[in-house]
Each structure stands twice: as C-alpha cells, then as structure tokens.
C-alpha cells in the first residue's frame, strides 16, 4: 500500500467516526427533547382520563370535545389535522423536514381533549407529529442544513414512536425505513 492510500483511508475513517459521534449526540438530543414532550403528553393523558372517567356521564363531553379539537386545529394550526403520521412523512419528503412550530402545542392539546373526553383516536400519530415538530423547531434554532434537518426530524419521529410503544430499537428501524 502506498502512503497516499493509507492516508486517505485514515482520513475516511476519521470522517466516519466524527459523523457517527455527531449523530449519536444529535439523536440523543432528539430522544431527550421528544421523550420529555411525549412523557408530558402521556402522563397528562393518563391523569386526565383517570379524572374524567370518574364522572358518570363523561361521554356527554365527546361532542363538545370534538368541536373544541376541530376549532383549535382549524384556527391555530391546520397542518395539525389528521392522524399525524402522513403529515410528518409529507414534511420530510416535501418540506425538507420543516414544520410549523404551532403544530406541537396544537396537536398535543387537541389530542388530549379528544382522548380525555372519550373520543376515538390513537397516541402514535400525535406523538410522531409532536416528535417531528419538536425536532424541526430545534433544527431551525440551531440552523441545521437541509439534509441534517431531515435526518434530525426523522430522529424526532422515531423518538415519538419509541415513547408511545416503549421500543427504542423499533423506533430506530422505523427511522431507517422512512429515510429510504
């Protein structure tokens, strides 16, 4: 082997190592931020359901909750409508991971209102959308380039799914599947 080739291999190895360390650090930040937001969502949801379900006629809240959720989403963040999963995938592929900062609190509050009142909805989509929104806001604040922002938002989505299901490996696999 020539010295030049050995040097190039060493430089390549250092670049790969630095990139791995960078993404280990960034993925950890995404996991912490989204984990905190998702924990807040899930704990608030559990406390709300516990409190409201003690009322004998809680099912009467469903129409009011539906109205409030729709009003909240339409008025403050129309991007927050729907299940959440399709919106985050669209944000990654069409908007380079850029999401409106209003989506996180609106989606969180609208979903809490719906689920606490006894409405039918899932936790996965909202947590994925909350995770993507938190990651997108962080990416904007730190001025990440387009490629890094997309990857970081994918980390946020994965962290949201991991928080709901308690499966970090499945969240990592989801990230890889969405990125392809």
Nearest to 41 by CA among 132, 99, 104: 104
Nearest to 88 by CA among 107, 65, 116: 107
Q: Burial level of 20, CB count in 10 A (0-12/13-18/19+)? A: exposed
pLDDT of residue 180: 52
pLDDT at residue 172 in the model: 66
Token pair recorded at residue 160: 């949201």
CB 33 within 8 A of CB 134: yes
Q: What is the pLDDT tens value at each position of the chain, 180 positions in all? A: 688 888 889 999 999 999 889 989 998 999 999 999 989 998 999 999 899 888 888 778 888 888 998 898 888 888 777 666 777 777 788 888 888 888 788 888 888 998 888 877 777 878 888 888 899 999 999 999 999 998 899 889 888 888 888 777 666 676 666 665
The pLDDT assigned to 177 comes to: 65
Radius of gyration from C-alpha coordinates of the chain: 20
Compute how many other C-beta atoms are within 10 angstroms of the C-beta atom of residue 34: 29
**Residue 123: predicted pLDDT:** 79
Q: Are 9 and 135 in contact (CB under 8 A)?
A: no
The pLDDT, as a whole number, for residue 176 is: 65
Tokens standing for residue 95: 């908007």
């Amino acid at each position: 082997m020539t010295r030049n080739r050995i040097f190039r291999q060493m430089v390549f190895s250092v670049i790969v190592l630095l990139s791995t360390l960078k993404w280990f650090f960034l993925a950890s930040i995404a996991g912490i931020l989204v984990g905190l937001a998702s924990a807040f969502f899930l704990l608030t949801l559990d406390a709300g359901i516990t409190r409201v379900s003690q009322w004998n006629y809680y099912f009467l809240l469903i129409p009011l909750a539906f109205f409030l959720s729709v009003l909240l989403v339409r008025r403050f963040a129309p991007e927050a409508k729907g299940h959440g999963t399709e919106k985050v995938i669209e944000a990654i592929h069409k908007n380079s991971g850029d999401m409106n900062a209003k989506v996180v609190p609106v989606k969180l509050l609208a979903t809490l209102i719906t689920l606490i009142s006894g409405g039918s909805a899932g936790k996965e989509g909202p947590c994925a959308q909350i995770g993507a929104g938190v990651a997108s806001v962080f990416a904007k604040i730190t001025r990440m380039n387009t490629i890094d922002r997309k990857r970081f938002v994918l980390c946020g989505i994965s962290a949201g799914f991991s928080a709901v299901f308690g499966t970090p490996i499945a969240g990592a696999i989801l990230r890889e599947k969405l990125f392809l």
